[in-house]
Amino acid sequence: MNFTKVLVANRGEIAWRVMRTARNMGYRTVAVYSDADRDAPHVAFADEAVRIGPPPVGESYLSIDRILEAAHRSGADAIHPGYGFLSENAEFAAACTTAGLVFIGPPSAAIAAMGNKAAAKRRMIDAGVPCVPGYQGADQSAAGLEMAARAIGLPVMVKAAAGGGGRGMRLVERDGDLGEAIRTARTEAESAFGSGELILEKAVVDARHVEIQVFADNHGNVIHLGERDCSVQRRHQKVIEEAPSPAVDADLRARMGAAAVAAARAIGYRGAGTVEFLLGADGAFYFLEMNTRLQVEHPVTEAITGLDLVEWQLRVARGETLPLTQEQVRFHGHAIEVRLYAEDAYASFLPQTGRIGAWRPAGGPGVRTDHGMKEGLAISPFYDPMIAKVIAHGATREEARARLVKALRETVVLGPTTNRHFLIRLLTHPEFAAGKATTAFLTKHAFAAPEIADAHWQAAAALLWRRSAERFPAALRGWRNSNPEPTPIKLAVGATERTIAVDPANMTDAAPPFHIDGHDIVVDLDAHTVRFTDRTYAPPASAAAGGDGKLRAPMDGRIVSIKVAAGEKVSRGQTLIVLEAMKIQHQLKASADADVESVAVREGQQVSNRTVLVTMKT
């Protein structure tokens, strides 16, 4: 199965990462891009690039026809799907083979076998792989699912049978919440995966999420490359991943590895895959699902094994045997990865959009940053808001953790709000530092938004004063016909306003990283990034503070559901609108008791950030 030119059917950091290895192995590379990604670094890096359509994924990255046409136009003879998008689409893998292209991934039959959680679980039970007790039956009625959930016993997980990444997934702890959880999980699953089929699983309380990296070739060889601990999650999506797991010893690793290899053999697997397990406090482990692709967190496995997993994928795809046997696999040190997102971790992890004004990833011994970013590039509402993966490797877990904290502190990313400060707090929390974090970590511990220090306000005001002063000749800066007086600078963060008196005589030359964005200034001080609005010459801020009675869209997105109508009375905390953005449904709630005067949108409508959705009167 020889090939010479690899098309990467993906975007961002994974496209760039795959292309680097492919180029190092002597292959030519082809990028595909939507109009939103025209200026992305992976497009510039590739030997060739082909436009595949407008930003919506259904018209670009999820269009099998457009991907295959791009391969035909570019002369590519192999396709690497990356992760996400079409990477676990059996129809796509089959279409590549039919078109005479080498699909750098598992056979379509293997993808299909694991693509539906219900069918996959039945298959794993037959193969003797331990599974979580649950329901994966044909009766998909709400009543049938509720009855099955009660038979299993609460708490239960409601999960989309066709999906992953935390979408279409709900934890139900109270019987009264079952109906709503089933309804919303089904709606989200239909939107994200095109299928509303659900399964139920007994919730394993305070468990760890441990996954095993497997690899198989066309010659009957299947091995594992150890485990990754992905227990720290928000919305059932991974935040921190590490290898090896602090909870796994050599004996447990061997047993979980054997189960993962058995799972791969049961479906005739080939290439890179990940078998995910829940690990209970008692040491019992249960099959969750198998991801039939490369994982976002594969760099931590690469760090502790010294292997390039993409190189292995390419070698297996061209018919070679695995480079190592199970006995030859060795592990060295510890590695931890965090996902740097454009999201407000202190506001229910609300995704953020906007342009990156400053981007300087960290480096140093043992530090790796995988990204597809550059200054001026926009975080789009059409795709996942991950900016980068920051990985640190060390001889010990503590060395890796310390290096990662330092790397995050040294990373400069200004523009949309990110979770960088939050990640540092997680890594430095005593429970995580001790290696004790489970899937309950983020529900057990509250991480309130930090206070904005006086130093932050002072720095923002001083930077704005300097910017203003630069407009005048040096000889006139600060000139007065009397003794110099401090200059008042009025700043706002949300509804909070402060006036800071800037005294040029007391200013220092040192300045923290910052970015000017219109009337806003984004300042990074002690790893805490804050966006200030300059209101020195602005009118009173009642409207800017949200005091005008208008519910606005917090980001670009699609209106999924409207829960109110004009003339209704609403209560504080009541859901008014359900907005879907970045594949997640967000419930927008009333901030106070009010009367609805008008609803300005309709279901299915695409809206931009700050669009007025509902007008109310208190």
Q: What is the pLDDT of residues 537-581, one digit of tens each?
A: 876 543 333 456 889 888 778 899 999 999 999 998 899 999 887
Which neighbouring-strand residues pair with 75?
Answer: none
Which phi and psi (to 5°) does residue 562 adopt?
-115, 120
Domain hosting 511: range is: 454-534
Angle 309-317/12-24 helices, nearest 10 degrees? 60
Evaluate whether residue 540 is within a structural domain: no
* Two tokens, residue 47: 């030997």
472 and 608 part of one domain: no
Place of tokens 């809206």: 607
**CATH assignment of the domain containing 33:** 3.40.50.20
181 and 230 part of one domain: no
Q: Which amino acid is at 84?
A: G
**CB 257 within 8 Å of CB 288:** no
Which phi and psi (to 5°) does residue 146 adopt?
-65, -40
pLDDT of residue 539: 60
pLDDT of residue 547: 55
**Number of domains making up the chain:** 5
pLDDT of residue 108: 97
**CATH assignment of the domain containing 262:** 3.30.470.20
Q: How many angstroms separate the CA atoms of 118 and 136, rounded?
A: 5
pLDDT of residue 476: 42
269 and 378 part of one domain: yes
pLDDT digit string, tens, across residues 38-96: 999 999 999 999 999 999 999 999 999 999 999 999 999 999 999 999 999 999 999 99
**CATH assignment of the domain containing 155:** 3.30.1490.20
361 and 412 part of one domain: yes
Q: How many angstroms separate the CA atoms of 495 and 199, rounded?
A: 44
Q: Which amino acid is at 158?
A: V
Query: H or E stretch including 492?
Result: strand 487-493
Which phi and psi (to 5°) does residue 14 adopt?
-70, -35
* Two tokens, residue 558: 């699609």
388 and 321 part of one domain: yes
CA terminus-to-terminus distance, the chain: 69
Which three-class secondary structure state does DSSP give residue 172? strand
- Please list the ranges in the chain whose pLDDT falls under 70: 164-165, 471-484, 539-548, 582-583
Evaluate whether residue 352 is within a structural domain: yes
Query: H or E stretch including 597?
Result: strand 594-599
Nearest to 534 by CA among 548, 547, 517: 517
234 and 322 part of one domain: yes
Residues 6+ apart with CB under 8 A from 429: 437, 445
Evaluate whether residue 113 is within a structural domain: no
434 and 410 part of one domain: yes
Instruction: Identify the active-site residue in 186, 293, 531, 535.
Output: 293
Question: For the residues of 255-304, what is the DSSP string, one character each?
Answer: HHHHHHHHHHHHTT--EEEEEEEEE-TTS-EEEEEEE-S--TTHHHHHHH
Q: What angle do CA 100, 102, 105 make, to 5 degrees?
A: 140
247 and 349 part of one domain: yes
CA 379 to each of CA 177, 356, 439, 512: distance values in angstroms, whole numbers, following the listed order: 35, 7, 28, 23
281 and 152 part of one domain: no
How many CB atoms sit inside 10 A of residue 534's CB? 20
pLDDT of residue 609: 78
Decide if 535 is catalytic. no
